[in-house]
Structure 1
C-alpha cells in the first residue's frame, strides 16, 4: 500500500507523468486513492485489457 501512496505523491509532484494500474491491482490502488485528500485531482482513463492510466490535474474534477 505504501507503494501506491508513493506513486501518488510522485505523480502530484510532477516526478512522473502517469501511473499505469493493471486490473489485478485496481481495488488495492483504489482503496488508497479514494482516501487521498487530493482525490479529485487524479484522473483515471480506462484502456484495453483492464489497464487504467492515472494522471494528476491542477484543477479538481467536479
Structure 2
C-alpha cells in the first residue's frame, strides 16, 4: 500500500506524469486513493483490458 501512496505523492510533485494501473491492482490502488487527501485531484481514465491511467489535476473536481 505504501508504494501507491508514493505514486500519488510523485504525481502531485510532478516527478511522474501518470500512473498506469492494471486491472489486478485496481482495487488495491483505489482503496488507497479514496482515503487520500488528494483524491479529488487525481483523474482516472479507463483504457482497454481493464487498465486505468491516473493523472494529477491542479484544480480538484467537484
Aligned to 2:51: 51
CA distance in 1, matches of 2:38, 2:48: 27
1:26 paired with 2:13, answer: no
TM-score (norm 2): 0.98
Aligned-pair Cα RMSD in Å: 0.3
Aligned to 1:14: 14
Extract structure 1 runs of 4+ deviating beyond 2 A.
Answer: none
Number of residue equivalences: 62
CA distance in 2, matches of 1:41, 1:19: 14
Instruction: Determine helix, strand or coil for the equivalent of 1:4.
Output: helix
Q: Return 5+ residue gaps in structure 2 as ranges.
A: none
